[in-house]
A and B are shown apart, each in its own frame.
Chain A
Amino acid sequence: MKKKSNCVSVRFLWIPIGMWLFLLNGTLLNSFAAGQSERNVIVTAMNQQQPVKKVRGVVVESSGVPIPGATIMIKSKMKGVISDIDGKFEIEVSESDILEFSYVGYETQSIPVQGKTQFNVTMQEKVDELSEVTVVAFAKQKKESVLSSITTVDTKDLKVPSSNLTTALAGRMAGLISYQRSGEPGNDNANFFIRGVTTFGYKKDPLILLDNNEVSSQDLARMQPDDIASFSIMKDATATSLYGSRGANGVILVTTKEGVEGRAKINIRYENSISTPTQRVELADPVTYMKLHNEAVRTRDPLGVTLYSRNKIDNTIAGGNPYVYPANDWYKILFKNYTNNQRLNMNLSGGGKVARYYLAGTFNNDNGVLKVDRKNNFNNNIDLKRYMLRSNVNINVTKSTEVVVRLQGSFDDYTGPLHGGDSIYSSVMKANPVLFPAYYAPDRANEFTKHILYGNYDKGQFNNPYAEMTKGYKDYTASQIFAQVELKQKLDFITKGLALRGMFNTNRYSFFDVHRYYSPFFYKVSMYDKKKDEYTLDVINEESGKEYLEYEEKAKDINSTTYFEGAVNWDRTYRERHAVSGLLVFTMRDQIFANAGDLQKSLPYRNIGYAGRFTYAYDSRYFTELNFGYNGSERFSKKERFGFFPSIGLGWIVSNEGYWEGMKKIISKLKLKATYGLVGNDAIGSSDDRFFYLSNVDMDNEGRSASFGTYGNSGGRTLNAITISRYANDDITWETAAKLNLGIELAFWEKLEIQADIFREDRKNILMNRAAIPSTMGLQAGVRANVGEAMSQGIDVSVNFSHYFNNDFWITALGNFTYATSEFTVYEEPDYDDMPWLSFVGQSLNQNWGYVAERLFVDEDEVRNSPAQFGNYKAGDIKYKDINRDGKISYLDKVFMGYPMSPEIVYGLGFSMGFKEWDFSCFFQGLARESFWIDPVKTAPFINRQNALLKVYADNHWSEDKRNLHALWPRLSETIIENNNQSSTWFMRNGSFLRLKSLEFGYSLPRKLISRAHITNLRLYFSGTNLLTFSQFKLWDPEMGGNGLGYPIQKVYNMGLQISF
């Protein structure tokens, strides 16, 4: 009940303010931020006419909660009343009057009296302006006039049970290629590329702008979908050329929510989820491991020393003392089956004519699936806590001046394993399951030993993953602060439609990392009395073991970015038919890094840009647009410093033509558009390259030195060397992309919308090493030039369908499809005219190359009589194809193989439906035309006498008894067989899959029930992600690609609660 009174008092607060404002500046106080044309509220009564009758009514919001203080006016009569605390009113009207209902933040409604005596009015909230305009570079444009290829995603679709926004992107937007390789909290960012990759420089990913401010993908990952007003990706030239310097790889533009006029609204979303790996990698059982390890030694070297005696194997089978005859399932020892995560997001928004506010706070807690030893009092499991605070405030200083202040702070606190969760997973692959247990139960001598008696073998050089995991932990803290102030000034007094805007932004980021760990004591069994079943232990490393913690400071990353943007905007329609607009923008950006590592990198990174747009539209039918970016980057020499990037767009809305009227019922929209232009990229070479026009000399390279004197380098005179890591070249200049986009937008019956784009991009001036420079030149760094060229093309399509059968039953469906393929068109390489298969030209940018594996060798005769391969190999090792038939397998026999390593096709489809209080949605996502490789080195069993054995290898390998020439794994070995770990088609796998990405089932409590508590909405929901996967590949989650032995992608079962007041 207390809540109720609070709520009401907030509501009443607005009445006096509204009135006061009105009195102050009657008709002129239009809220231009909200952008609606609002008819003004008149409260005072004048020229009263004779009342004809008295009517009653109640004003409620859509949820049924009464609105006190709503204004009820008789149109054109300057007379009105205000609703009371229960939303009720009474007014005297005549039959011909029209009543007008208004309230801040709600659409005004007019209802003719026409005999009614009771008015039950449901006020509709003002529709978000975003649904009518599209966010484009530096501005907003009316949807119909947008010629660029821009995809906007409904932020509702980004609400997945994950603390990482990037994991929600795959398959949601046409034009975005996205996939996730790891499921480790804090390290699970998905990779995403707009329309694929068209460069082979270091910067391949898109520019990400948060409220026009460039941020990292990590910052994007932290964003809460609840706080996002719009999320769009910009794909073609007209959309991105204004961002000249950084736009070539596409742009992701995110704007955050602002307060909307109206009462204070509170939204709370709380989720608790259980996450578990989508799939576990299966290892061979310990007995098989021992047998096959012995086989691996003997099959290569009949005299080889085997590690497991008959006795040991037999006792392990018989289930002897587990400390003496260990049989570890390391996965079980190290990992839990599932973990629990929580997420909480709260926001508060509202405002009036003078000021609007949006405040949000987020708390996410993500845990890993690692176990913690009870003997340690620290937590070595992953525990990532993320806090975020946001405050967006808009203030109307005068009727034509608006100031916006946006503040955001996000803070990560992390505790977790020393080298991250991935390393724990990969350490399982580097562990022997049978040589020693994770730890020993104390023997008699160690009854009072305080430390954990970790197991190890021989001299303690073996990897005990349990010791690695539990011996310590790391802490890190990351803080990111954005502060932004924006000033908007209308300049209608100069000429109508003119406005000025300035924005200043600063980002501060700081990160630090501390490791704490002890050096574990390792033990081995020295004697075992089988009769008594008693063993005695020997400490292996008495000297190096430590019971106390050591401490190590790690990298500290601090950087600061400042950004300024100034723009003049002009927008006007002449004679209702000629819509003209113009925009000029100036931007400057400066970023500096502490701990940069060398002098040149410590200097600020800077860009400035001038950009402009001019649009003209005739009668909402014909559209043209001209854009340019003129950008400067500090990386280039003075003569190459600025690049000019123009673009042009043309559009035609066929359905607005007069003759289309008849068709409009069926094809409600038909729009054709074409754009072409240039976009630049200054992030070329590598991120270490600062000033291409300067050489980079290390005058004191500690990595290289010479020493002399009596004791040489054990105490003589030593001087470090002078080395060069870059030669000066003042001709190096911008990488440019020429983008062509042809698009069509179609709508049928106003229910089904289809957008399709065909695109082609030609990237020129890609920085490359000159291939013609032979090693004999003795250069310490490559000589480079802007010579590379690449091309990409493809199509992206999105389909949306929505249908409301009635108020209780609705359905929406969406689907999208992206296909982007790329190829090298010009690539510096040796002259391969005689060996065309070696040439990169014509190959996809992400294509892997290697040898064509034919099968395994049949016998030693075949080995002898086949072209020479690599290192030592025998029957049962991989036989490669001699492409150039020169009698040996060498680099000249490499070919490009499979699909690219990044998918060419990403698609998604899903639907949502609602029936009364129930809602249900599901979403499938998939990708195709991707190849990945099983890593033959990481998965090689028995290496160093300790690498794990995958079950599939145990079941399916070549052996002398079973000479399967197409076995999954070649002849076993205890050492890396160079011949078999060549990059080849043998370990190539198809990466395509389709998965049930998300499923959600929700129930909203009936309004009647909750309105008493002044709750406007209360929804409970259950959701899940990655619930089902369909793929040919069974070893691990196919989305992880070659990283399958890392921290697995998670399957999540989630329960959530959404509540709004």
Chain B
Amino acid sequence: MLILCSLVSCNYLDVVPDNVATIDYAFRNRTSAEKYLFTCYSYMPSHGSIYYDPAMSGGDDSWFHTFVPWSTRYLARGQQNSSEPYMNFWTNERGANKNLWQGIRDCNIFIENIGKVVDVPDYEKTRWKAEVKFLKAYYHFYLFRMYGPIPIQIQNLSISAGVDEVKVYRAPVDSVVNYITGLMREAALELPKESEVIQGTEAGRMNDLIAMSIRAKVFVYAASPLFNGNSNYASLVDNRGVQLFPQAYDENKWKIAAEACKEAIDLCHEQNKKLYDLVDVQVENEPEAFHVQTTYRQAICDRWNQELIWGGTNYECTDLSRQAQAKIMRFSAEHTSIKSEWGPTLKMIGRYYSKNGVPIDEDTEWLNNDWYDNRYKLREVPSSGDEKYYIKEGEKTVYLHYNREPRFYASIGFDRGIYFGNGYYNFPDDVKYTAFFAKEHSGLSSASEGFSITGYNVKKMHSFKNAVTLDRDAVEYYPFPVMRLSDLYLLYAESLNEAYGPSEEACFYIDQVRKRAGLGGVVESWSVHSIIPGKPTGKTGLREIIQRERTIELAYEGHRFWDIRRWKLITELNEQPQGWNASGENAEDFYKITNVAQEPVKFSVKDYFWPIKEYDLAVNKNLIQNYGW
């Protein structure tokens, strides 16, 4: 009987049929190869996500009430740590939602194997491969920006690689930058033009504009003070004796950056990219005051417009819109889908220019009329003049909200501010305004979580075409602007100024951006309106102007978080975030400047970079920890 049993059982344990999927199947035909291409894309960080993009809610430009438990908020409070780091994209933990090292490995697998696929034509293979090369370079860049020097994964290590082989080293800054920019250029040469990407189904896939623009940005990072001759990081020397941060400041890096920016700008112009300047039909017949505002807003929210270089599609901007959208009616306060929790800080409100295009503390008109000194005092809306387009007639608000540049009115929802759009377009009959006192329609309501702790909201980051009625809301989709032309212009201007000092060309590009915003040129505005008329003619002065221009123009698009670090201005984050008193039920109580952080926020040099998780350092002793952690 036992013999019989053994006969029966010969194949008894071979239960696995043929054709069980293995990774080889991914490159057998077009369908699965394309899936693998999308797989490489799927690691794209969620640009613009208020929960997963540290730059959106982890900075000092906005604040959230204490109920929000997102990991990004711990970054904003300066509470990063090294044992369980927040937004840890190195290991995909604590708020991070994409594992970039895995992404890089998948990109390598794709690049190695795409040649095997039979039914994909060569030109398409080339395109796909170029896209993946860019992704691989971009994922390296994303980590580089967070962690500084990182190990470069040019090729995959085998799974059976020896213990010593897998213990990779962090490569020095210059090697990382060279590798990333080189790969991006390589990709750009093979990537299609923007017009060759079929918009209906492919918009958001890589093209040469994206590759060249991001490459320019990487060069700008390499030239910026954080990476260029940063003595704070002199101690970062690994156990081979390799110094990770170059210690000598190299001005030439700015020249390279300027050149790369120019190259990218020229390519953009060649492909008909220009700053967005259209006036939406919905606004055409409305007062002029709304034209500039909506044009600026539409530069972000008009889908796939002429200014947009890279629109992110992996993250849906509807969540972002819901956090940005103010509650514009009493009953809409009951819309739990409209969150309105994203609250700009007073610091950012102060950053916006005056209507004359200069800082409010430099503007002679502001100073002469004591508007600046009285900026936190109340003033009623005058019946004559343009104020009624910006502030609800017959109401009172602080001087700070009067006489500001159009981008202020386009970007910020403030107490008693006119909230154009959202289903109500006929000024003045049915256009709504925001009211932020506690228990008012835009403000804090009893135990509710959906309110802004600062008393402001981010009007800019949702479409004015959203429909918010008494009991319904519909949020317009738009691809998040990861890179747009004005960003590139300002990077170019910055590089030029750093490399060669103030120049007409630098000012030309800044002025382009200002012009669209309804402001005069830099030199002219300062000379006429500022108490420091010569500011744009000095390198430091122009640097300040460019930095401020970036802060305003690109506000709430996830740039300031990185720029502050790149410029080595982290001490700025120690200014305590402030807002109005959200629980104030009347003007007197509401307009009290309030520290919105429960605890004083604290930043120091160590916060320029993420710590590498201690466990990872224990696993790979060839990695060294970033300074201060």
Interface residue ranges, A against B (CB under 8 Å): 300-301, 303, 305, 307, 457-459, 461, 500, 502, 566, 568, 584, 586, 588, 599-600, 603-604, 606, 608, 610, 632-634, 641, 691, 694-695, 697, 699-700, 704-714, 716-724, 727-728, 771-780, 783, 830-832, 838, 868, 870-872, 888, 890-892, 944-945, 974-976
Q: Indicate whether B248 reaches chain A with its CB closer than 8 angstroms.
A: no
Q: Which residues of B contact A603 (CB under 8 A)?
A: 15-17
> What is the CA–CA distance of A974 and B22 in the complex, to the nearest angstrom?
50
Q: Are A716 and B201 in contact (CB under 8 A)?
A: yes
Q: How near does chain B come to A948, taking the closest CB pair, in angstroms?
A: 17
Q: Are A586 and B79 in contact (CB under 8 A)?
A: no
Q: Indicate whether B456 reaches chain A with its CB closer than 8 angstroms.
A: no
Contact of A709 among B22, B83, B313, B594 (CB under 8 A): B313
Most buried by B among A500, A604, A708, A721: A708
28 A-B contact pairs sorted by A residue (CB < 8 Å): A300-B598, A301-B598, A305-B583, A307-B447, A461-B336, A502-B1, A566-B5, A599-B21, A634-B15, A641-B13, A699-B25, A699-B26, A708-B204, A709-B201, A710-B200, A712-B311, A722-B35, A773-B619, A774-B166, A774-B623, A776-B620, A778-B99, A783-B159, A831-B618, A871-B79, A872-B77, A888-B82, A891-B614
Q: Are B2 and A584 in contact (CB under 8 A)?
A: yes
Q: Are B619 and A772 in contact (CB under 8 A)?
A: yes
Contact of A714 among B6, B23, B41, B316 (CB under 8 A): B316
Q: Are A706 and B203 in contact (CB under 8 A)?
A: no
Closest to A500 in B: B1
Within B572-619, the residues touching A (CB, 8 Å) are: 581, 583, 594, 598-599, 614-616, 618-619
Q: Indicate whether B368 reaches chain A with its CB closer than 8 angstroms.
A: no
> What is the CA–CA distance of A461 and B339 in the complex, to the nearest angstrom?
14
Within B28-67, the residues touching A (CB, 8 Å) are: 32, 34-36, 38-39, 41-42, 44, 66-67
Q: Are A779 and B20 in contact (CB under 8 A)?
A: no
Q: Indicate whether B91 reaches chain A with its CB closer than 8 angstroms.
A: yes
Contact of B313 among A604, A712, A727 (CB under 8 A): A712
Q: Which residues of B contact A870 (CB under 8 A)?
A: 81
Q: Which residues of A contact B615 (CB under 8 A)?
A: 830, 891
Q: How near does chain B come to A945, taking the closest CB pair, in angstroms?
A: 6
Closest to A590 in B: B12
Q: Are A705 and B22 in contact (CB under 8 A)?
A: no
Contact of B36 among A584, A712, A722, A945 (CB under 8 A): A722
Q: Are B334 and A699 in contact (CB under 8 A)?
A: no
Q: Are B102 and A610 in contact (CB under 8 A)?
A: no
Q: Are A708 and B202 in contact (CB under 8 A)?
A: yes
Interface residue ranges, B against A (CB under 8 Å): 1-2, 5-6, 8-9, 12-17, 20-23, 25-26, 32, 34-36, 38-39, 41-42, 44, 66-67, 69, 74, 77, 79, 81-84, 90-91, 99, 101-106, 151, 153, 156-157, 159, 163, 166-168, 199-205, 303-304, 311, 313-316, 318, 334, 336, 444-449, 477, 479, 581, 583, 594, 598-599, 614-616, 618-621, 623
Known: A634-B15, A778-B104, A890-B81. A721 touches B313 (CB 8 A): no
Q: Which residues of A contact B477 (CB under 8 A)?
A: 711-712, 714
Closest to A976 in B: B69
Contact of B168 among A307, A502, A776, A780 (CB under 8 A): A776
> What is the CA–CA distance of A717 and B41 in the complex, to the nearest angstrom?
13
Q: Are A721 and B35 in contact (CB under 8 A)?
A: yes
Closest to B475 in A: A714
Q: Which residues of A contact B156 (CB under 8 A)?
A: 778
Q: Are A706 and B619 in contact (CB under 8 A)?
A: no
Q: Are B598 and A872 in contact (CB under 8 A)?
A: yes
Q: Are A717 and B90 in contact (CB under 8 A)?
A: no
> What is the CA–CA distance of A594 and B263 in the complex, to the nearest angstrom?
60
Q: Are B316 and A695 in contact (CB under 8 A)?
A: no
Closest 8 CB pairs of A and B: A778-B105, A891-B83, A712-B313, A830-B618, A890-B83, A706-B41, A778-B101, A719-B38
> What is the CA–CA distance of A976 and B157 in the complex, to the nearest angstrom?
42
Known: A599-B20, A697-B21, A699-B25. A773 touches B446 (CB 8 A): no
Q: How near does chain B come to A852, taking the closest CB pair, in angstroms?
A: 15
Q: Are B203 and A708 in contact (CB under 8 A)?
A: yes
> What is the CA–CA distance of A3 and B458 in the complex, to the nearest angstrom?
88
Q: How near does chain A come to B313, taking the closest CB pair, in angstroms?
A: 3
Q: Are A721 and B38 in contact (CB under 8 A)?
A: yes
> What is the CA–CA distance of A774 and B617 in the complex, to the nearest angstrom?
9
Q: Are A772 and B15 in contact (CB under 8 A)?
A: no
Closest to A720 in B: B35
Closest to A458 in B: B447
> What is the CA–CA distance of A712 and B47 in the complex, to the nearest angstrom?
13
Q: How near does chain A come to B128, taking the closest CB pair, in angstroms?
A: 13
Q: Are A776 and B38 in contact (CB under 8 A)?
A: no
> What is the CA–CA distance of A759 and B13 in the complex, to the nearest angstrom?
34
Known: A459-B448, A709-B202, A774-B619. A700 touches B153 (CB 8 A): no
Known: A695-B22, A714-B316, A783-B159. A775 touches B35 (CB 8 A): no
Q: Are B168 and A774 in contact (CB under 8 A)?
A: yes
> What is the CA–CA distance of A157 and B618 in the complex, to the nearest angstrom?
52
Most buried by A among B77, B153, B314: B314
> What is the CA–CA distance of A398 and B91 in the complex, to the nearest angstrom?
70
Q: Which residues of B contact A775 (CB under 8 A)?
A: 90-91, 101, 616, 619
Known: A610-B2, A716-B203, A890-B83. A727 touches B21 (CB 8 A): no
Most buried by B among A566, A707, A723: A707
> What is the CA–CA distance of A772 and B164 in the complex, to the nearest angstrom?
9
What 11 new A-B contacts, CB under 8 Å, besides A712-B204, A871-B74, A892-B83? Answer: A502-B1, A610-B2, A695-B23, A697-B25, A707-B313, A708-B204, A709-B203, A722-B26, A778-B104, A872-B598, A974-B66
Q: Are B166 and A697 in contact (CB under 8 A)?
A: no
Known: A566-B1, A694-B20, A772-B163. A709 touches B204 (CB 8 A): yes
Known: A566-B5, A707-B314, A719-B35. A777 touches B13 (CB 8 A): no
Q: How near does chain A come to B29, taking the closest CB pair, in angstroms?
A: 11
> What is the CA–CA distance of A31 and B583 in the complex, to the nearest angstrom?
91
Most buried by B among A301, A457, A724: A724
Q: Which residues of B contact A716 (CB under 8 A)?
A: 200-201, 203-204, 313
Q: How near does chain B come to A522, taking the closest CB pair, in angstroms?
A: 13
Q: Are B159 and A727 in contact (CB under 8 A)?
A: yes
Closest to B315 in A: A713
Q: Are B153 and A710 in contact (CB under 8 A)?
A: no
Contact of B13 among A633, A776, A945 (CB under 8 A): A633
Closest to B623 in A: A774
Q: How near does chain A come to B429, taking the closest CB pair, in angstroms?
A: 29
Q: How near does chain B come to A586, taking the closest CB pair, in angstroms?
A: 4
> What is the CA–CA distance of A692 and B312 in the complex, to the nearest angstrom?
39
Q: Which residues of B contact A838 (CB under 8 A)?
A: 618
> What is the CA–CA distance of A714 and B157 in the complex, to the nearest angstrom?
37
Known: A705-B42, A708-B313, A721-B42. A777 touches B101 (CB 8 A): yes
Q: Are B102 and A778 in contact (CB under 8 A)?
A: yes
Q: Are A706 and B583 in contact (CB under 8 A)?
A: no
Q: How near does chain A come to B179, taking the closest CB pair, in angstroms?
A: 15
Known: A772-B166, A891-B615. A697 touches B22 (CB 8 A): yes
Q: How near does chain A come to B237, taking the closest CB pair, in angstroms?
A: 19
Closest to A297 in B: B66
Q: Are B616 and A774 in contact (CB under 8 A)?
A: yes
Contact of B620 among A586, A641, A774 (CB under 8 A): A774
Contact of B594 among A303, A779, A975 (CB under 8 A): A303
Q: Are A699 and B32 in contact (CB under 8 A)?
A: yes
Q: How near does chain A come to B79, taking the closest CB pair, in angstroms?
A: 5
Closest to A460 in B: B336
Q: Are B166 and A568 in contact (CB under 8 A)?
A: no
Q: How near does chain A come to B118, taking the closest CB pair, in angstroms?
A: 18
Q: Are A588 and B616 in contact (CB under 8 A)?
A: no
Closest to B581 in A: A303
> What is the CA–CA distance of A608 and B2 in the complex, to the nearest angstrom?
12
Q: How near does chain A come to B380, taking the closest CB pair, in angstroms?
A: 28
Most buried by B among A599, A694, A711: A711
